[in-house]
Amino acid sequence: MKAIILAAGEWSRLRPLTNTIPKPLIKIFGKSILEHNLEYICEHVDEIVIVVKYQKEKIIEALWDNYMWVKITYIEQSDEKWTGAAIRWIETDSDVLIMNWDSIFDRDDLEKLCKFSGYWVLVKKVKDPEKYWIFHLWNDGNIKQIVEKPKEFIGDLANLWVYKFDWKIIELAEQIQLSSRWEYEITDAINEFAKLFPFKAFEIQWEFIDVWYPWDVLSSNAHFLNKLSKSEINWTVEEWVTIKWNIVLEQWAVLKTWTYIEWNVFIWKNSIIWPNTYLRWNTVIWQDCKIWNAVEVKNSSIWDHTNIPHLSYIWDSVIWNNVNIWGGYITANLRHDSGNIKIPIKWELVDSGLHKFGVIIWDNTKTGIKCYSMPGRVVENNSMINPGTMIK
């Protein structure tokens, strides 16, 4: 069986995060979104085809020509738009596993789909089917068709965009016409496929993770940290460090004296946590970071090569690569009226659904001393923040 991974999109909802990295390479709990799912399927496929376009060089550089000894081939998507266009003209004579690279799925669900005989799609039962692509089933349980946001009730099984098909799905995708949105949509090929083959829906048994917006990085990390049943300490913990619950401490990472860690925390390679630091509640600190004296970090994701100096408080925040925060930075994370935090995405304020959220700071930003940020603010790439600034 051949796996086809659709990883060409720009994912503007994730900007400014995806200004500098394609979505498939966003790291969650030690691995990219791409690697999480590849790890689960690679035992069941003999080749992986990754359809790329946006920042394709970074995806190719990250994986090269194989993953766990399974060959990887890269195909650049043409200027034809959408998922139907992505699979047109791929050569295969075997069954295919096709995945939209939006989510991280549970190993058991993906492995069952791979092992099933016949042709299947992963689905999830939803309470509001009028918001989703919904599968309409025949009485025998086979799929009749898929309908986008049906106005009348035809079922409640929503498409999760992971399929096991006969190779003829490629041929059908080559025959579909442009939709009303002027896109080649895989759903049109699916409806033709369902006329030719028994095609069934498999309702997932476990949770899956969607990373739709930048703040979803936090809940995604929490998903894995909450499952951490024991500590994995692979480097240096100095004397008088307090660790409550479990941590992951990777190679060349150091916890210095008087560090206090509460709840599950992940610290990646070569990061140094200096004395009197307080880390808590689902914090992830990536590679080559320095968290200095008397800093508190709670429920945050701190990415590579970032420094957070003395007397700073980082709560419920996403801080990207190569950020240099000078001493005394404080993130506010709660509105005075206790309402949901709204965050600017694509020039619009989006309700995050979160009661608490701090700040999003993107690549290569520097702040002066004693800066502050109001809840839900976004600092763009390459920003220079003057000392004493309130980010409103």
Q: Are residues 113 and 223 in the same domain?
A: no
The enclosing domain of 234 has a CATH number of 2.160.10.10
Q: Are residues 225 and 79 in the same domain?
A: no
Classify 152 in phi/psi space as left (phi over 0), alpha (psi -120 to 50) or beta.
Answer: beta
Residue type, 293: N
Report whether the peptide linkage leading into residue 16 is cis, meaning its omega lies within 30 degrees of zero.
Answer: yes
Residue numbers annotated as active site? 310
pLDDT, averaged across the chain? 90
In DSSP terms, which residues pair with 2 in a beta bridge?
47, 96
Pick the last residue of a domain from 175, 210, 245.
Answer: 210
Chain centroid offset of residue 294 CA: 31
Q: Are residues 275 and 374 in the same domain?
A: yes
Q: Are residues 206 and 220 in the same domain?
A: no
Q: Are residues 280 and 197 in the same domain?
A: no
Q: Which of 123, 216, 115, 116 lies closest to 162, judged by CA?
A: 123
- Whether the per-residue pLDDT at 171 is higher than 70: the answer is yes
CA angle 290, 294, 295 (to 5 degrees): 55
Q: Quick one: pLDDT at residue 84?
A: 66
Question: Could you give the number of structural domains in the chain?
Answer: 2
Pick the last residue of a domain from 171, 192, 210.
Answer: 210
Q: What is the pLDDT of residues 100-147, one digit of tens each?
A: 877 899 999 999 999 999 999 999 999 999 999 899 999 888 999 999
Q: Quick one: pLDDT at residue 80?
A: 66
In DSSP terms, which residues pair with 50 in a beta bridge?
5, 74
The enclosing domain of 157 has a CATH number of 3.90.550.10
**338/343 Cα distance (integer angstroms):** 15
For residue 275 the two structure tokens come to: 């004395």
- Whether the per-residue pLDDT at 67 is higher than 90: the answer is no
Q: Are residues 54 and 110 in the same domain?
A: yes
Q: Is there a contact between 367 and 389 (Cβ–Cβ < 8 Å)?
A: yes
Percent of the chain with pLDDT over 70: 97
Q: Are residues 193 and 230 in the same domain?
A: no
**89/69 Cα distance (integer angstroms):** 25
Domain hosting 331: range is: 216-391
pLDDT bin (cut points 50, 70, 90) of residue 85 is low
**84/169 Cα distance (integer angstroms):** 10
Place of tokens 């791409």: 34
Q: Is there a contact between 268 and 282 (Cβ–Cβ < 8 Å)?
A: no
Q: Are residues 196 and 51 in the same domain?
A: yes
Greater confidence (371 vs 52) lies with 371
Report the pLDDT averaged over residues 30-50.
91
**CA dihedral for 141, 146, 152, 157, sign (positive or negative):** positive
CA distances from 215 to 149, 179, 221, 316, 351 (A): 26, 32, 11, 9, 11
Q: Are residues 221 and 204 in the same domain?
A: no
**196/213 Cα distance (integer angstroms):** 37
For residue 172 the two structure tokens come to: 């059908």
- Whether the per-residue pLDDT at 168 is higher than 90: the answer is no
Q: Are residues 241 and 298 in the same domain?
A: yes
3-state secondary structure of 298: strand
Pick the last residue of a domain from 193, 210, 227.
Answer: 210
Report the pLDDT averaged over residues 49-58.
89
Q: Are residues 283 and 193 in the same domain?
A: no
For residue 348 the two structure tokens come to: 């619009």
Report the pLDDT averaged over residues 199-224.
92
Q: Are residues 30 and 13 in the same domain?
A: yes
**143/274 Cα distance (integer angstroms):** 57
